[in-house]
Amino acid sequence: MATSWHARTLDDIRSALGTGERGLSSAEAAARLASHGPNALPTAKADSLLAIFLRQFRSPLIYVLIGAAVIIYLIEDPVDAYIIGAILLFNAVIGAVQEGRAANTLAALKSFAEADAVVLRDGKELIVPDRAVVPGDVLVLAEGQKVAADARLVSARGLRIDEAALTGESEPSLKSAETLPPGDRVLGDQENMLFKGTNVAAGTGRAIVVATGTATAIGAIAHELASSATEIPLQATIRRLTNVIIAVVASGGLGIFALGMLLGHSATEMFATVVALAVSVIPEGLPIVLTLVLASGVWRMSKRNALVKNLQAVEALGQASTIAVDKTGTITRNQMVVEAVYAEGSLFTVTGDGYAPVGEIAADGAPIAPGNHPELLVAGQIAAYTSTARVAYDETKQVWQVTGDPTEAALIVLARKIGFEKEDLERESPPVAELPFTSELRYHAAVHGGRRGMALSVTGAPEFMLAASTMVREGGTVAPMTAEKRVALEARMLELSGRGLRVLAYAERAGARAPLAPADVAGLTFLGFYAMKDGLKAEVPAALAKARAAGIKVVMITGDHVATARTVALEAGIYREGDRVLSGAEMDALSDGALAGILAEVSVFARVTPDHKLRIIKAYRRAGQMVAMTGDGINDASSLVAADLGVAMGKIGTEVAKEAADIILLDDDFGSIVSAVEEGRGIYASIRRVTLYLFSTSAGETLVIAGALIASYPVPVLPAQIIWLNFVTDGFLDIALAMEPKEEGLLEKPFRRPGRYLIDRAMAARMFLMALSMTAPTLLLFGLFLDEGLTKALTVSLTTLAVLQWYNAWNCRSEDRSLLSMNPFGNPYLVGATAIVVGLQLAALYTPFLQGLLTTMPLSLEEWGLILLASTPILVVEEIRKLFVRRTRPLPPRASPAASSRTDLDTP
């Protein structure tokens, strides 16, 4: 927002907005709606299925293939062009089906914020759609409502707003109508402001609307999302690889054309040769195989509760070197839970999971029966008396849902664990009077009647409660609150706080009266402390240990204060001795370059805003890290978009976060991220495997054509034959290679991120060896049979290349394991694919239709035997290379988590 509404007086705001205590008139509201527009965020038209289909053709590699098809159509038989067209069409259909019709992020922002609002119009309360709220309207707020627009509070009584989705704060913000001092404040520190899309957790209030629609805080996020886009790593890699292919095709084609002209070949012949060469260099099957490999990865990841929205995001997760996790809802449950009760001098620990009222209570490490401990029964009664929250089980979502303040919900759950139901207690001791928690009072007081008369129960800030208590009960005995006892109780409070727990004190007094006034909350008998926290998710420590062992650095980002953030991160295993906790204020003092320079030292970012989150993500990317960002709230949306990979929580996540993310964790289990990383690395290995196979065969075909040209042979493989090899033969084998079982221990092995072009030096050298092993036997047999006619020679060279590709597919199963040591039926898909391509090659040679299409003729059994024998060197050469690799670079032993984490992070 451009105007600092939090620092302006109410009179000034009313004057600026032309409103009053009775709100706007209906006529004025209608006029403002017409001039300001609806209180809604802009929506973008969803892409049609046709648009998604056409988008599949937006690739330089596709453009080159289309160009080759056009040229072939003009100078050769159009059948070859039709084959290329069929390939492109098939790829586009697969891609369009997988991409689907994803909902637009801005539309999700709009639907998230839609609700009804209660406003004052002509001095009367009216319920209107939030789209009809205008600047100057007076909102009437009550527990459970969604805030319809950005607004400045006029009055507040115990008003607490759940702003977790916007600010990341797990604790609802206590609001006040007091004017704040001038100066910039982050959203979470604007105590007198309300923001569109947040929720009223407790209390009541009234507020003047100061901004609607795109002028709201959510509107700013919507604008950021609209202008943000991040290229998925695989997209960038394929784009760069495509540029290299185009450069090779152009330079190589020109070179060979010039060489042919110098050797006396005609321009027409050389032009046809260059086109054939271009078709051989371009791996026509690459777009299809990448799409299908990623699609199969999407299916497998869905089995691990990870819903992938973008196909290419599957492989990207395997490359992640840094995972930036949002604390609330990702590391923690966003559920306050009482973990300890200090009752009348005794400390009890409480177990349980979230808001489920199930758990044990223990003393000195041993479970106890609460009924045998009167001091614990009193603690449970007061917890129930001073809570207005409701906790109920949602059968549909199968989760415990809270209405009201999470802190008071934690007290209700504690009461149930001890054995009390609020309704049962209040039937015996009906409520008489109450003072809800406010920032001014700092306590919640309630008076209940009963057979022993009226009693006052109070929970609140320990500092106030200690000051308001004149007596203290310990061990069943009531004694005066002395200075020494107060100091001892303060020490106990500090000890609990040092464990990262939020501490509330509780006390009581007999002989209360109604109505209850703040002055009556005095002369209390101090009883003890409730210690609670937003607990870690159970799976987090183990998952973080696995991530560290995999060489992935996990950093935590939170809006909480530094001390709280450090404690939670230490418990989770994110923060370790020597790490740095960086606050938002400290970030503001750093330049972008300086921030990127200290990232290696930082494991926790505390007290940050959405702008800080976005800056953190950009800093990691600037530092060369592949960063994945997890989140669940509106405030995470921009960062999820900016990250290399956005991961949203499926259960607690807002629709905004889900739509901004690339991957959604359906079970909200942080461990699923680590499992998905392992799957991603397996997918990366599959992509390397099929890329090696495709490019080695393409390189072999290229060398065969170039070698024939130098030897003054005719072109030994025609464009239609190259298409047959690259699409039909390769098409089955590379998909089968993609289904090769995943290696064991992928997370324990050092992981090297792919180079800029996917193909590193070792892979390039391996491709060259394979290509040479294809070139020699093919040219040898082509020359040997050339005297028997061009058709026979073309048939022999085509079949030889096909057999070499069959052998090569089995070579590519492993980088260093001997083919003889691997179970031949370990990949049944490859066995089946080999049988299919053998059958297809036989059809190409012995069926009239394919003979005419591919310029082939039948071969005798002796000729087949010669081809099979002449092709074996590719197996022998690869076995020798693998033996050399095993002897000179043995597989490293399984690394320890600590060693692996340090080594892998430094791997380029």
Compute the radius of gyration of the chain from its Cα atoms.
35
- What is the C-alpha to C-alpha distance for residues 219 and 196, in angstroms, rounded to an integer? 9
- What is the C-alpha to C-alpha distance for residues 257 and 269, in angstroms, rounded to an integer? 9
Number of helices and strands in the chain (H, E): 34, 28
SS3 category, 390: strand
SS3 category, 823: coil
- What is the C-alpha to C-alpha distance for residues 372 and 199, in angstroms, rounded to an integer? 41
Distances, alpha carbon 762 to alpha carbons 768, 773, 906, in Å? 10, 17, 20
Q: How far is CA 105 from the centre of its chain?
A: 15
- Say which residues have a Cβ less than 8 Å from residue 843's Cβ, sequence separation at least 6: 850
List the beta bridge partners of residue 146: 199
The one-letter code for the residue type at 496 is: L
- What is the C-alpha to C-alpha distance for residues 363 and 360, in angstroms, rounded to an integer? 10
Residues 630, 323 contacting (CB under 8 angstroms)? yes
- What is the C-alpha to C-alpha distance for residues 456 and 463, in angstroms, rounded to an integer? 19
- What is the C-alpha to C-alpha distance for residues 686 and 694, in angstroms, rounded to an integer? 12
List the beta bridge partners of residue 435: 445
Token pair for residue 161? Answer: 């707003």
Token pair for residue 88? Answer: 């492109």
Sheet containing 580-583, strands listed edge to edge, beginning at the edge strand earlier in sequence: 306-308, 663-665, 645-649, 627-631, 322-326, 553-557, 602-606, 580-583
Between CA 479 and CA 486, with CA 485 as vertex, the angle to 5 degrees is 115
Distances, alpha carbon 399 to alpha carbons 208, 704, 820, in Å? 35, 64, 53
- What is the C-alpha to C-alpha distance for residues 736 and 827, in angstroms, rounded to an integer? 8
- What is the C-alpha to C-alpha distance for residues 902 and 863, in angstroms, rounded to an integer? 57
Give the single-character DSSP code of 213. G
Token pair for residue 348? Answer: 């009890």
- Say which residues have a Cβ less than 8 Å from residue 636's Cβ, sequence separation at least 6: 168, 326, 610, 613, 629, 648, 657, 660
- What is the C-alpha to C-alpha distance for residues 784 and 777, in angstroms, rounded to an integer? 10
Helix 233-262, helix 670-710: angle, nearest 10: 0
The one-letter code for the residue type at 318 is: G
- What is the C-alpha to C-alpha distance for residues 137 and 25, in angstroms, rounded to an integer? 9
- The candidate with the shortest Cα–Cα distance to 804, out of 904, 878, 856, is 878
Residues 683, 314 contacting (CB under 8 angstroms)? yes
Token pair for residue 495? Answer: 């000890």
Give the single-character DSSP code of 729. I
Total Cβ atoms within 10 A of residue 226: 16
- Say which residues have a Cβ less than 8 Å from residue 115's Cβ, sequence separation at least 6: 130, 145, 146, 148
Question: Residues 137, 326, 734, 904: which is the catalytic one?
Answer: 326
Residues 812, 882 contacting (CB under 8 angstroms)? no
Alpha carbons within 13 angstroms on the beta-carbon side of residue 593 total 0
Ranges of H-type helices in 511-591: 540-549, 562-572, 584-588
Q: Is 326 a catalytic residue?
A: yes
SS3 category, 223: helix
- Residues annotated as catalytic are 326
